[in-house]
Amino acid sequence: MEVLSHLRVVEIGSSAATSYCARLFADFGADVQKVEPPRGDPLRRSAPLTPDGQSAWFAFLNFNKSSIIFDPTELDAITRVTGLIGECDILIDGRDVDPADCPSVDIAAIRQRRPGLIYLETSWFGRQGPYAGFAATDSTVRALAGLVKLVGPLEGPPLHAPDFQTGILAGLWGFIAAASSAIARMQGGVGRSWSLSIFESSLALSEYPIFEAFAHGDVMRRLGINRFWPNFPTGIYETKKGQLGVTTVTTTQWRAFCDMLGLSELRDDPALTFNEGRLQNMEQIERRFMPRLKTRTAQEWFAEGLTRKIPIVPVPEISDLLQDPEKKARGAIVPVWLGEEAGLTAGSMQRLTLTPPRRGGKVPAAGEQQVFADIRANESVIPASPRCIDADRRPLEGIRVVDFTMGWAGPLCTRTLADLGADVIKIEAIQYPDWWRGVDRHPGYVEDQMYEMAACFCIMNRNKRGITLDLTRPQGLALAKRLLAGADIAVGNYSVNVLPKLGLGYEALRTLNPRLVMMSMSAFGTDSVHRDCRAYGSTLEQGSGLPGVIGNPGGPPVMSHIAFGDPVGGLNGCAAVLVALIHACKTGHGQFIDLAQIECMMPFAAPWITVHSIGGTSPPKYGNLHPQFVPHGCFRCAGEDNWIVAAATDADMWQRLAILIGRPDWAADPSLKSAQARRSIEDVIARAIEDWTLARDADQAMSELQAARVAAGVVRLPIDLLKDRHLGSRAFMQKVERAFMGPHPQPSMPIRESTTPYAIRAAAPTLGQHNGEILSGLLGLSDDEIARLTEEGIIGTTMLSEAELAKTKEASD
């Protein structure tokens, strides 16, 4: 029996976010009913298209669902839709993005009759705030979210990826909201009602640069294709055969990279020891190492990099992904049927080992019902009489998480669980704290406790309790096991062998706690042939296939982000844990989750995977153009490096845009009504738009375009988000007080149950802040026992310096 087969889900309206959210439920067996108008969901016509004219994007979002057609002109349309909703567990509503002719229904009245109903409504910007009601596309939202301006050539225009990102990010957040509500409801609570902002969902990718800018000031600028502050080199380079993704963050990695290429003079240059010096000398450094990379193939360098522990990876083309047997064996690429066509697409990345997701499926034709043998048609987990619970109670209260994560991906996963009410206990060590506190062990850094002043550590670890345990010593290991014996969830993002070698692998822990859900968040997966490859969030993007579809025709693969894979892995990890927790609540059985973060990036390339698998043609690159919307682009505004993304998504919007820029003749010309017709003069239209935008400040241009109901978004820098008027009006940035940091902003979740976000309950813990509270209160240790642990260095509250760490190693040896 599939883990979510007891759930009925209804999806109304049309948005990529709600479709992806619902697909995640379908992946694990939920009965998903998609409500469509007589012509079908507008997304059925979204490019890219297969040879038979089917939408590959729609296919990825909707396989394993059923379709129900409702004609709004029919007299009983409202009654039928109301009845369908009244029988479901979860309602996912995308009407604010596109109503798709769905009849108006009284959701409040339905929820009053059915208090267990979980409701999720999605909009581009939320129902309140200056941007509420803005016309939008994926690209205009990403521009506003600070995800465009840092990408592309120095002289501009900035480059942005095709329109398949915000829906995936928002869909993950929507699933997290609804799945956590299902867990709360299984404990006897009522259904919950959530609102989801697609714009705010996209800020999960922007958090690192936003808060690095908060800490360091306005230091980020576009550095050129495949270059990103603050690390260098972190990009994609040509080899003798194939492209190679390179990431060097630490001095050790930089020196190993230079040694691999035989460039001892670069390795030994003190000016290049740290990233700051390398960023100042990018051109000279690349001139030295790029010719060396062309002497061997990407695969040969990859093998060499493994032996030297350098985070490098071959950059695959879509055809390479389709030929990768490991991707198919793990379910990262699965079969999909679109009418008479059979192809491949990205599968579920939530790789639960006991209750695995479906591996592929059929895309329903409009109005087609699909029946799955293992769906229990008459079962629902809505309690007959849900008890009233404290309105302030969060959905995961009562859940305990032991957090072995560091950096970005793992801590974002566990932070989200903590934000939703779980008790998250973060385990560090005074010998090796979370690396986002900083890896500098010089005496001044340690003595001044600079490791407590890292803004990014603080935003990723709020609402958690923190302890220190030396897991390499028996006393520390024993205490960790005692915590795990009473936990619901354990999450780690170390290399795959680290926790098992310590005696904290799943096979050992399941005997200790059969209910435990344990997740490994490695880069490639525990059983991958590349399991030992070092990786950062940049490595995951480089190896995902996505860079190959971004950029200008004939140009190189283009990265979109300094560490794209980190937040994406974190959100997928949270979604996976919630599915496993639902199973544990139902059955009492935990399980192991083998999350491969590189696979979590593959949905962003899913449409091209499908098109290539059916037609065999390499995906075209559009640059800043669009396969469907004409015009569409990034246009220069008045001032230095100021830009706006604007698009006409239909004929009416095109006419309003033409009139606004002073071309009423274009608006009146019937031969330009279709996007296909406008494509022939797309360059002329783009020049006319830019003549208009150049006379205006970017914000003024956005205001005028939006007043004409034309999709447009200013191309923001991450630092601009700290003072964004829309986020300010929605209290998205919350002010938190913390020792060593003082008051500092914290981003809210993009999901909320009221007009205001969940309040942040606690700042990130200082190192070992809750040692006494947890060891005494949870584990019952005496004050003398805790003092002895401190004396022996098993626990502590101060990071060890280089000299102290060396002494500790000597003693243990």
For 101, the token pair is 């002719």
Cβ neighbours for 20, distance < 8 A, ≥ 6 positions apart = 61, 167, 168, 170, 171, 172, 174, 175, 603
Mean pLDDT (the chain) is 94
670 DSSP 8-state letter: G
Residue 244: phi and psi, rounded to 5, are: -125, 130
Q: Are 177 and 167 in contact (CB under 8 A)?
A: no
Residue 547: pLDDT over 50:
yes
Residue 12: phi and psi, rounded to 5, are: -120, 160
Cβ neighbours for 660, distance < 8 A, ≥ 6 positions apart = 692, 704, 705, 708, 710
What does 497-547 look like in DSSP terms, one character per residue? THHHHHT-SHHHHHHH-TT-EEEEEESS-TT-TTTT----HHHHHHTSSGG
Dist. CA 364–CA 59, nearest whole Å: 9
Amino acid, single-letter form, for residue 312 = I
The pLDDT assigned to 290 comes to 98
Q: Per-residue confidence at 390, pLDDT binned at 50, 70, 90? A: low
Instruction: Render pLDDT for 662-689 as a digit per residue (tens, 0 to 9).
Output: 999 999 999 999 999 999 999 999 999 9
Q: Per-residue confidence at 617, pLDDT binned at 50, 70, 90? A: confident
The pLDDT assigned to 811 comes to 72
The arithmetic mean of pLDDT across residues 513-520, rounded, is: 98
The pLDDT assigned to 76 comes to 86
Helix (H, G, I), strand (E, B) or coil at 3: coil
Count of CB atoms situated within 10 Å of the CB of 191: 22
Please name every residue paired with 517 in a beta bridge, in sequence order, or none if there are none: 489, 591
For 808, the token pair is 């500790």
In this prediction, what percent of the chain has a pLDDT beyond 90? 90
The pLDDT assigned to 464 comes to 98
Could you tell me the CA-to-CA distances from 597 to 376, 500, 524, 538, 720 in Å, in that order?
A: 32, 19, 6, 11, 29
Beta strand spans in 84-206 (E)? 90-94, 118-123, 193-197
Residue 386: pLDDT over 70:
no
Could you tell me the CA-to-CA distances from 755 to 55, 177, 267, 666, 731 in Å, in that order?
A: 36, 16, 54, 42, 9
Q: How would you classify the pairing of strands 243-247 and 234-238?
A: antiparallel
Please name every residue paired with 244 in a beta bridge, in sequence order, or none if there are none: 237, 314
Helix (H, G, I), strand (E, B) or coil at 421: coil
The pLDDT assigned to 382 comes to 45
Residue 377: pLDDT over 70:
no
For 137, the token pair is 């596309």
Dist. CA 590–CA 516, nearest whole Å: 5
Residue 157: phi and psi, rounded to 5, are: -70, 155
Instruction: Render pLDDT for 443-461 as a digit per residue (tens, 0 to 9).
Output: 888 999 999 999 999 999 9
The pLDDT assigned to 619 comes to 84
Please name every residue paired with 34 in a beta bridge, in sequence order, or none if there are none: 11, 67
If we measure between CA atoms, which residue out of 608, 620, 617, 604 comes closest to residue 554?
A: 620
Whether the bond into 230 is cis, omega within 30 of 0: yes
Whether the bond into 157 is cis, omega within 30 of 0: yes
Distance of CA 430 to the CA centre of its chain: 30
Four-CA torsion 271, 272, 276, 278, nearest 10 degrees: 130
Dist. CA 768–CA 40, nearest whole Å: 56
The arithmetic mean of pLDDT across residues 66-77, rounded, is: 90
491 DSSP 8-state letter: E
If we measure between CA atoms, which residue out of 87, 90, 77, 83 comes closest to residue 11?
A: 90
The pLDDT assigned to 384 comes to 38
Residue 378: pLDDT over 60:
no
Dist. CA 86–CA 641, nearest whole Å: 52
Q: Are 427 and 469 in contact (CB under 8 A)?
A: yes
- The gap between the terminal CA atoms of the chain, to the nearest Å, is 51
Helix (H, G, I), strand (E, B) or coil at 31: strand
Dist. CA 350–CA 569, nearest whole Å: 10
Place of tokens 């007299």: 75
Dist. CA 726–CA 202, nearest whole Å: 14
For 640, the token pair is 């230095």
For the chain, what percentages of helix, strand and coil (3-state, to nearest 5) are there?
A: 40, 15, 45
The pLDDT assigned to 383 comes to 46
Instruction: Render pLDDT for 201-212 as a digit per residue (tens, 0 to 9).
Output: 999 999 999 999
Place of tokens 């935003």: 459
Q: Are 656 and 710 in contact (CB under 8 A)?
A: yes
Place of tokens 């009562």: 398
Q: Is the dihedral of CA 209, 213, 216, 218 positive or negative?
A: positive
Amino acid, single-letter form, for residue 560 = S
Residue 73: pLDDT over 90:
no
Residue 4: pLDDT over 80:
yes
The pLDDT assigned to 74 comes to 86
Q: Is the dihedral of CA 346, 348, 349, 353 positive or negative?
A: negative
The arithmetic mean of pLDDT across residues 360-377, rounded, is: 80
For 446, the token pair is 């340690």
Q: Per-residue confidence at 813, pLDDT binned at 50, 70, 90? A: low
Helix (H, G, I), strand (E, B) or coil at 711: strand
For 289, the token pair is 């190492």
Instruction: Render pLDDT for 216-275 as a digit per residue (tens, 0 to 9).
Output: 999 999 999 999 999 999 999 999 999 999 999 999 999 999 999 999 999 999 999 999
Distance of CA 589 to the CA centre of its chain: 28
Q: Are 795 and 480 in contact (CB under 8 A)?
A: no
Q: Are 569 and 241 in contact (CB under 8 A)?
A: no
What does 333-369 look like in DSSP terms, one character per residue? EEEEEETTEEEEEE--S--BSSSPPP--EEEPPTT--
Residue 375: pLDDT over 50:
no
Dist. CA 701–CA 513, nearest whole Å: 59
Q: Are 128 and 730 in contact (CB under 8 A)?
A: yes
Instruction: Render pLDDT for 142-198 as a digit per residue (tens, 0 to 9).
Output: 999 999 999 999 998 999 888 889 999 999 999 999 999 999 999 988 999 999 999
Dist. CA 388–CA 391, nearest whole Å: 8
Please name every residue paired with 645 in a beta bridge, in sequence order, or none if there are none: 634, 713
Alpha helix stretches (DSSP H) within 405-467: 409-419, 443-447, 455-460
Q: Is 575 exposed, middle or buried (0-12, 13-18, 19+ CB in 10 A)?
A: buried
Helix (H, G, I), strand (E, B) or coil at 105: coil
Instruction: Render pLDDT for 706-715 as a digit per residue (tens, 0 to 9).
Output: 999 999 999 9
Residue 385: pLDDT over 70:
no
For 401, the token pair is 């998480």
Dist. CA 269–CA 276, nearest whole Å: 13
Q: Are 335 and 573 in contact (CB under 8 A)?
A: no
Count of CB atoms situated within 10 Å of the CB of 442: 10
Residue 503: phi and psi, rounded to 5, are: 90, 15
The arithmetic mean of pLDDT across residues 49-65, rounded, is: 97
Cβ neighbours for 302, distance < 8 A, ≥ 6 positions apart = 244, 312, 313, 314, 533
Q: Are 69 and 36 in contact (CB under 8 A)?
A: yes
Instruction: Render pLDDT for 10-38 as a digit per residue (tens, 0 to 9).
Output: 999 999 999 999 999 999 999 999 999 99
If we measure between CA atoms, which residue out of 704, 540, 743, 560 comes closest to residue 134?
A: 704
